A = this chain, B = another copy of it.
Amino acid sequence: MSFLKSAQALKPLFDRVLVQRLKPATQTVSGIYIPEKNQEKLNQATVIAAGPGVIGPNGDTIPTSVQAGDKVLLPSFGGSPVKIGEDEYLLYSDKEILAKIEN
């Protein structure tokens, strides 16, 4: 009843980027459980898939600036939610992604 079996089946178009937001901490560093309403929503995410890019002003394709596996910083608004099974994903335009996070 759904074409979508897994996030891997999603191939973003243009410069869209499919990300999965980092889950908020459910315990404090000292091991105390944090109730769900107090868990802080994080703007950090892992890129699951990235589109091929968009056509630039001189007709060439501008490749997307992030790729699958990259850790990224999300803006605090925007993104189109996509639900696959029980998991929540988000689609952003490449231009909306604020920064890569390198280790």
Q: Is A76 in contact with chain B by the CB < 8 A criterion?
A: yes
Contact with B along A1-30 (1 / 0, CB 8 A): 111110001111110101000101100000
Those of A64-103 within 8 Å (CB) of chain B: 65-66, 71, 73, 75-76, 80, 82, 91, 94-95, 97-103
Question: When the two chains form the complex, which single residue of B44, B56, B65 contacts A59, counting CB atoms closer than 8 Å?
Answer: B56
Question: When the two chains form the complex, which single residue of B13, B16, B58 contacts A58, counting CB atoms closer than 8 Å?
Answer: B58
Q: Using known A-B contacts A14-B65, A65-B13, A97-B13, determine if residue A5 contacts B103 with beta carbons closer than 8 Å.
A: yes
Q: How far is the CA of A66 from the CA of B14 in the complex (A)?
A: 11
Cβ distance A46 to chain B, nearest Cβ, rounded Å? 8
